[in-house]
Structure 1
Amino acid sequence: MGTTSDIQTIKDGMRKTWMAGDFGEVAKFIQHHADDFISSLHITPEKRLLDVACGTGNLAIPAARAGASVTGIDIADNLIEQARTRARAESLDIHFEVGDAESLAQPDAAFDFVVSMYGAMFAPRPERAAAEMVRVCRPGGTIAMANWMPDTFIGDMFKIVGRHVPPPAGLPSPALWGDPDTVRQRLNEGFSDLSTSPVTVIFEYPFAVPEVVEFHRMFFGPIERAWAKLEEDGRQALRRDLETHWDRHNEATDGSTRVKAQYLKVVAIRAAA
């Protein structure tokens, strides 16, 4: 994929992307996705859980409410600060730190659960992120991911943005983490069980599609950064394409916005030693 300096440049760009806008605002509208995901894992008290690419704590916080001992890592400093603020507001003892999904600071076999929702899938070298999640998961432990699927609503939205502002050359599409065959190739050793299933989730906003697109233009880092790289004509073309995409999928008829999207739920059980 290139030299060490090339990778560092890509990672610096990714950090700036996820620190741009204010993902905390976006996270509020998908918190229910995370609540349902954590609930489905049946986490019991005292289990050790690592949330990889935790953002503002959408998975970490409900896991801690369930009694787990939780650590969250993310590449974006400002999101870690928001996660800490959220945990303090609920008096939850969660350890949040800035970290890299491809080079976790945590020791081998340290966690009963290693989870990631719409997060680790964006690491530029997926094989390294996969290896790190496996390394820190104990034998008999669970790796669980929620990854946007290709050729579905969010996958297509990223394609639209990529047509206007192409991603760095040579990077695999993050949406490949939403393809069952690719997941099995990446998690192909050391597991006693691996299951994948598509899950439908809802995006619901109490405002119309143009305001939804503007909301993401302001707060969602990948779109905010793409917007900043375009001239005015390009910005308006991107806006039109995004509005068309949201309009096409909008099921609401009352001036609000309600769109269905799909992620691939991945649950892998690490084989006992």
Structure 2
Amino acid sequence: MSVLATNPNQALWEKGDFTQLAACMRESGDALIDAIDVKPGMEVLDLGCGDGTTALPAARRGASVLGVDIARNLVAAGNARAQAAGLANLRFQEGDASWLDGLADSSFDLVVSIFGAMFAPRPLDTAKEMVRVTRPGGRIVMGNWIPGDSTLVARVLQICATYTPPPPEGFVSPVTWGQESMVRDRFAAAGIADDRIACKRATYTFRHAGSPSRFLSIFRDFYGPTMNAFEAAAKNGREGDLQAELETLFEAENRSTSGGTEIPATYLKVIVQV
């Protein structure tokens, strides 16, 4: 599958190593797949799949799963995880969520994208592509971070934005996918009736054995948006300010009482009946 050369996301997500953060998301990924009732024999597309936080649980439940991600390092990591788990019904390949040129119409019973397709640069095209590759009677399930939300990831993205240069003209913020009105407009443009779109707030929990400060170091060293913010802050002599602001956030959001880190984050769960 080819990828548009102008897509800026490939450099962003290949810059770090999202597998380091994904390791703190496994339990919630498994619970999410349980909640959306993935069954044996289903054809599933996991879009913006990373290294398989939801793709592997779906395959373990007997579905035939294709993971698609813009980052080649994450595709390689996903295929390695699938092979190590002995999951012949799971494969990963490179692709752009807004231009799924190698995937046929009506190919999947379920399209899943948890904090993935929301980062694709052309949201209208992304919604149309998700609808196009889903079979009539199938479902699309998205998890999207919510703009202005007070919990972890939305605040991390908000804080980092204050330390980085303004985005280029025409940039559409990924967190607009966390606004119900925008979700409905985008799927309406893709031909989905409003009564076939359901949105509700849900919680995704990050778990890490170390302290909140150690958990923050994963974001700082391996998560593309945070890495960019620290690089920009360092150029302006503000790296310490960014570190302090994020440390305060991570400490305040930690719910663990056992010395580790357990941080819930609110997201918008979107279910579209095609």
Alpha-carbon displacement from aligned partner over 1:35-84 (angstroms, at most 9, x marks no partner): 11111111221111111111101111111111111111100000000000
**Aligned counterparts, 1:23-62, within 5 A:** 23-62=18-57
What aligned pairs does 1:168-247 form with structure 2 within 5 A after superposition? 168-169=167-168, 170-188=170-188, 189-191=191-193, 193-231=196-234, 233-247=237-251
Q: CA deviation at 1:216?
A: 1.3
**Residue 128 of structure 1 corresponds to which residue in structure 2?**
125
Question: 1:8: Cα distance to partner?
Answer: 4.8
Residues 80-159 of structure 1 mapped to structure 2, 5 A cutoff: 80-93=75-88, 94-104=90-100, 105-152=102-149, 153=151, 154-159=153-158
- Contact 2:12-2:224 at 8 Å conserved across structures: yes
Is the partner of 1:157 in helix, strand or coil?
Answer: helix
Residue 151 of structure 1 aligns to a residue whose secondary structure is coil
Give the secondary structure class of the aligned counterpart of 1:29. Answer: coil
* Whole-angstrom CA distance in 2 between matches of 1:160 and 1:243: 12
Q: Distance in 2 between matches of 1:229 and 1:204?
A: 28
Any idea what the Cα deviations from partners look like across 1:71-112, whole Å, max 9, x if unmatched? 111000000000000000111121211000011020111111
Conservation of the 8 A alpha-carbon contact between 1:208 and 1:255? yes
Amino acid at match of 2:55: A
1:112-151 deviation digits (Å, cap 9, x = unpaired): 1111001000011111111100000011110001111122
Q: Secondary structure at the match of 1:164?
A: coil
**Structure 1 counterpart of 2:269:** 265
The AA in structure 1 aligned to 2:173 is: S
* 1:73 partner amino acid: V
Determine whether 1:20 maps to 2:2. no
Alpha-carbon RMSD across the aligned residues, in angstroms, is 1.8
CA distance in 1, matches of 2:134, 2:268: 20
> Aligned to 1:187, what secondary structure does the other structure show?
helix
Q: Is the 8 A contact 1:20 1:225 kept in 2?
A: no
Deviation at 1:25, TM superposition (A): 1.2
Distance 1:253 1:264 in 2: 27
SS of corresponding position for 2:103: coil
Measure how far apart 1:253 and its partner are: 4.8
2:72 aligned residue: 77
Moved more, 26-35 or 253-262: 253-262
> Could you list the runs of 5+ residues in structure 1 that have no partner in the other structure?
1-6
What percentage of residue pairs aligned between the two structures are identical? 38
Q: Distance in 2 between matches of 1:167 and 1:89?
A: 42
The letter of the residue matching 1:243 is E
| Residue ranges of structure 2 left out of the alignment (5+ in a row) | none
SS in structure 2 opposite 1:87?
Answer: helix
* SS of 2:196 mapped into structure 1: strand
- TM-score w.r.t. structure 2 length? 0.90
- Are residues 78 and 194 of structure 1, via their aligned partners in 2, closer, same or farther at CA, if it must alter by over 3 Å? same
